[in-house]
Structure 1
Amino acid sequence: MTPPVQRRRWPGIPARAIPALILAATFVILMSLAISTARNISRGEALAVAAAEATVTRSAIVAQSLLDRHLLQVEGQLAGLSDWLQHGFISAADPGRASLALQQLASHSYTHRNLMLTDAQGEVWASAVTGGVGHSLPISRGVLEAAAREGSASLHGPLRNADSGLTMLLLLRRVGQDAAGRPILAAAEIPTALLTAVLAPMVTPPELRVRLENRDGLILAAGAGQTHLIGQVLPRSPASGLRLVRLERRTDRLGPGEVFATARPTMLQGLFAVAELPEAAALAGWPQLRLSILTGSGIAALLLVALAAALFFAVWNGQRAATEREGANTRLLAAIESLPDGFAFWDPEDRLVICNSRYRDFHDPMREILVPGLRFEELAKAWIADGTFNLPEIAPEQRLAHVLDTHRSPGGQRERQLRDGRWLRIAQRRMPGSGMVVILTEITALKQAMTELAEARDTADRATRAKANLLAHVSHELRTPLASLLRLADALQREAGLPPPQRHQAGLVGATARHLLALANEVLDLAAMEAQSLTLHPSVAQPADIFREAIAMVQPLAEARQVRIAFTEEALPPHIEVDATRLRQMVLNLLSNAVKFTPDGSEVRLLARAEADRLRFEVSDQGSGVPEAERPQLFRDFTRLASSQQEGTGLGLSITARLAHLMGGEIGCTDAQPGPGACFWMEMPIRRAAPPAPEQEAIPTRSPGHRLRLLAVDDAPSNLSVLRALLAQHDLDLETVNEGPAALEAVEIAAREGRPFDVVLMDVMMPGMDGKETTRRLRAMPGTIGRMPVIAVTASAFPDDLAETRAAGMDGHVIKPVDRALLLRALADAVARPTAGGPGAQVALETLRPMLLAELDLRLTQLELALRDGTTLIPTVHALAGTVGHLGAPRQVTRTRRVLQALREADPDGPKLARALLDELRFSFPDASPRAAAS
């Protein structure tokens, strides 16, 4: 039982006051955060203004210093000319010498472009620049007169030099007087570009403006990016609008807004170094910083609110969650208690935590000890002492260890029977680090149902075996007379001198007998299809002959009803590879149905054509047709039309459809065209083939000059007559008996007389002592008699029946109706098997070796194909084992049988073993090829 969840309290604080306390604390913190944010914003803005003011002040001081130094250098050179005039180094009387001196002086200075000497009217009489003499200074007379009166330098401009096209500032200074006492003025041309270069360091920040202005607001020089302002007069000159040296925040003279500005006087009277920084540029980083401060404060406030809300709801939901957990725990315990199965939970130390009443019911004698804390080992000891579970398969001294080991396993299921006969399924699962869950389910009813199901299965198996035996007996009883009829018809056809009409009639008898045999096999075919054991046996055949044979078989029925059968073939290949028996069976089924359901005196049309690699044939009648609603039911087992008056089993179309699908084809029904009636069509893939080589019947012999002696055992005289007819053309001795005891007696007499039989042809199903019992007694005879080859001649083709013949000691089998070629082949295989009959067996083996090598090459080729698709490996290896055995290679036979066993047991290495077997047989029989066999 889980203990109730205790609601937590904050020490010294009532639970109801906690939410209010959280809200109050949140409010106080938010107010503190707001005040702190406001102070930070105010302080940040003040710092930004102070930084801007410092930048402007520093820039003005630097600009003043740079301009003073530059102008002082120029003014110094002009002052030096006064000494030259006083000492006579230059004079107005010799302008050329004066110009040369000025050139030499200007060539060593980069602070100006040209030095000139003029009279009081501004006429240049000496110049450092070639061609500069004779011009007048572009300055008003009043300016010249003021410069002539004053002894200090003055800066004028800006002026545009007509020769160079440069904008100049002109620095004037009185430097002396001529012989006549007239004043001499010295002038220096200073390109404004030089002053712009001087102010170039003032580029940080880019919006900083540094200029040289006079007291009237005329811009004489400006820093980079402001040269277009040179020559403009700005309102509110620095001398009137600014308190010199001090920085002020004032309206921008170049546009809207405010600037931080200061002006510092230069060494030349009336000139000022002005520095301005727009407020927007000075405080450009401040809005972003202010936004960051506000964002950070907002996020902090949101986090604080979220934390407070989370804490508030956590506290508010605490009691409710505790209540819900207590309710969930109660419901869980109630659910466990109401389970129809027994439930128990053991902790990692195998102590009982909880169990329900159902679990206690299964341990009724130990109910009192099933309390939390009980160790599983104690419960197990109580089980064993009380005998709660039946454990007869385990020794008493090992039962406790067995129960404990089973309980400690990670999980699984097991079944145990209680002492009172009830059955339990014990399911357990160990959870990592959490213990073990055990569930007990009563399965007594399930056990009883399984027992009844097993009995029903056994009953069904017995019924299936009885059905198989019945079909085997029916097959035998039908095949035996048909075998006689079929073989006697074949013998009659081969009778020399038989007139053609009678030969044709004998052929029809044989064809009809084969058809009757096929009809007898129809039910067996259906059973094989249901068991998925029906296989196709393709061979080279002529499709046109197959269709004509089917027509010939149904022709008597058609003639009886005066129905004409019209056959049309279109582009049929001469030879195809197909199971001719099954194709003929399908055509015959469709033709028989058409003849039955067409009116007397009408016509049935058979159309067969081949297109590419597909064969299609259609059978059309002139009957009433098949309603479209009934067509889907036509191809089901035991289905007949509701309006049909014809007799039948309803299996013909079903078997035809199954065969069509087995061959990879399709079948269907449509309306006949033209006219009334139904048209049944079938389409299937085909493989074109070359004409087969003419077959030669194998003539069995044990050694050259030795007549093969055979003993045929069959209770039906007709079957013995058939065997005589089949073997009459071959040089061998055939003796016959009609029962098992007579066969054993004939074998003993022949052995005593020194003329033993080489092979026994044994009928399987005979009255009294059947063929299997006769073979067992034959195998019990001493010496070479017990090893005499025995071939089963049986009408049963069921695998179980053939296996029983092998188990009885028979070496092979031939299915009735007996085929001559198969019989001769079976005899050849029998005499080729090594026996104690002397050296003649080896001679016969060498005689048959070329044929066997050719067959081995065929089997190996089939194995290669089977290894590619992987679907026919087992039957291919099975057939290969027989061929290798005929070649007298015991080691390879053993290897082949091992591979076959691996394939039947679904061994994953089976295909690899088959590939290795293929390589070994190719190496062991290098002459196993068509060319070698032919030679």
Structure 2
Amino acid sequence: MSAMFRAWFWPVGGQTFWVGDVRNLKTTNIFYGLATCVALALFFFWLESSRYKNFVDTERHEAKLFAEDLSENLEHALFDFELRARGLTTAIELSGDIGQDRFSHLAERFKELNSSIMNLALVDHGIIKLVHPLEENRDLVGYNLRNDEKQWPAVAHVYQTGQVTMQGPVLLLQGKRGMLVRTPVMAYGASASQSGITKIVTVAVDADAILQDILKLNSEPNELPKRYNELSKGYQVALTTTQTGGDIVGDNGVFENDPLIVYVSMPGTELKLAVAPNAGWTTGYRVAWLTNLGLLFVVFTAVYVTYVLRRQRAEHNKVQLQLNTAIKTLPDGFVLYDSEDRLVVCNEKYKEIYKKSADALVPGTRHEDLLRAGLKVEQYAEAIGRENEWLAQRLASHKAAESTIEQKLTDGRWLRIFERKTPDGGRVGIWVDITESKRHQSELEASNASLRHALAQRDIAEKRFSNVAMLSKDWVWEADKDLRFTFFSNSIQKKTAEFLIGKTRREAYKDFPEVLESTDFKRLEEKEQAREPFRDAIYQAIGATKDDKWIRTSGDPIFDETGAFSGYRGVSSDISDVYNAMREAEAANAAKTEFLNVMSHELRTPLTVILGFNALLAKPEILPSVKALDAGIKDGSMTTENVGQQVDLIKQDIAKYAKKMEISGKHLLNLINDILDLARIDAGKLQIDLGDVALEPVIASVADQLSETARQKSLDLRVEVGAEVAVADELRLRQILINLVGNALKFTERGHVSIRTESRGDTVAILVEDSGRGIPKEKWDSIFGKFDQVDPSSTREKGGTGLGLSITRQLIELQGGAVSVESEVGVGSTFTFTLPAATSDAAKHAS
């Protein structure tokens, strides 16, 4: 209310403005009284409106919290039914085709866990085949859901997407309202896209029971159950679906009572939960008459006090005018703030000092607002770039009002500020311009600082060389006029310094010709002989340490005061890691380039075959057999018997070309699959599905698949497999075996290829042996790289990308195994890879 009263009088510009003087006080009071009554009426109307709005907001908020609690319980309940349905589906998937007895046995185990489950059914191709309980639902067996307009769209959605779907509340076939949870039954180990879903498990849940369950009191020992129980008694609750044709569970009339609605999204449907008070909204609101009367009494008391204060203020008006006149005559800036830290008065000198923000110097403005106005126009030089920090410091100093501070303005002026507290809690201050005295002090300080800086630079220059030598990984060296090393800083290894000191580079490395022939050694000697500077010369260093190193060095010649050459001074560093990495990268890049050349050849070859034979098939008239048929028809020499024979020849030509195109297409597909597998492995996106895998049937299947290739090359393909069971991904295990056995067949011209297994404790070993050309020992490790090949020319000769062994190694490692090779050139090779041995009961029984 103080702001309202202050509007009637306030000191402005050093003088006080009055609505009227003492002689017209009576007229002013009448006007003031009428204005106060109108203001009070508006105030109480606004107050009651605010209370009513707050009541409504609180009531709606409480209902929202209650509805959100219900929706969370509903989500948990429906998710629980979904998990149960998934569990039953999994049991059925593991059981395969089941009958009514087996289904009832499995279904009863799930139904007895929750009394809200009404029945369960197995739907096959849209027809109900099995139900539980059977006696109560026997008439549903054979019912075709395609004839049910409400249920079929949801059933069709499961068939199309292979995803769990919920439906309801809906009127069930048994005549009750319920929720339906449908889950697809897939062939064991297959995805929805692979299995072609025909069966669906449907769980029917009593919708009314679900609603009652979520309204029950929680058992947790906290305050929520008590409030939850009280709210449940005071609200109407209804549940329905947002989809067309859904039934309503709960209080039907709730939707006519402006309910609070919460939406719950579940698989295949969206539910709408509505909550409204039983007695309607705002029925409990009451006007606070007693509070309003109390406020009215306080306001009238304040008005009377204001009246008394205005009379006292009028008596002091003359004294105030005299004080303002005195303030104006001061030669320095003067300012006064009241106990609320608002500007009371300031003189013209103060406004002239802060002329950039003078428009803000209005009586009644807070001191903080005045400072912010000055910051906005960049008035304070010390605040630029640190406005918030400066503002906090200035406000703290102003509040303390116990010290003298200095302030610099952006126009170059310096001010000395004296602030003190007044007896009534306000602040009074004097601003003195000390620009001139400050300028003299600054010049003196600058001169002293320049002197101190010069002395510091001298000390830094003396220590710079020592510090660099101590801290840098590089080392400083010096050589005399004969190019013999005379000094090394501490950064160099001690053995290296001892190896080189007192010698030239050529003298030190005379027993290591590879050093003298390395990268920049000759260029370095030429520069030194010519007494020229050299930069970043690189050479190999051997002899000082066990490991080979690569050194980078730079140096400048030194001449004495007469101009005579006196030696070299330079800096060297060990760049072995960087240089070796660069050489490895260059080698990898060359291998990659060779791989791309191979890939270009391998991709173009099958494409050329496909396109070439496709051109023949696209224009059959150019085939010799077709030309012969056309010629015979035209000259009349073609008989009925000849036509049949000629047509057979045409079919043979087409089949031959199509077969060649098929072979090239499969070859091209294998190339692309290799590249895609490598990309998925590198990206970490290749899925590995581990399980117990019996090796004998898998290896036998692979051997049978490749037997024709062995037969065509007259190779003996042998299989020696025991009853071992490994932990592996069967699909990827087949891929590994096809790669290894296929490679062995590809590079073996005579003799045999054998596959055998060995049990090695916790692991199982699979060995692929051949009597082929063999692999040099220095290539044993590199053949498993992405781009390295034993002989790229042989890869082109035999076909393939050279990625097979790289992919094989990574697939084996992803399954917890390892791969190795032993080979002898001209004798053959043996590739051995291991996998973890299975430890399950089934695996032990198999062994």
TM-score of the aligned structures, taking structure 1 as reference length:
0.24
User: Max radius of gyration: which structure?
Assistant: 1
Q: What TM-score results when the alignment is normalised by the length of structure 2?
A: 0.26
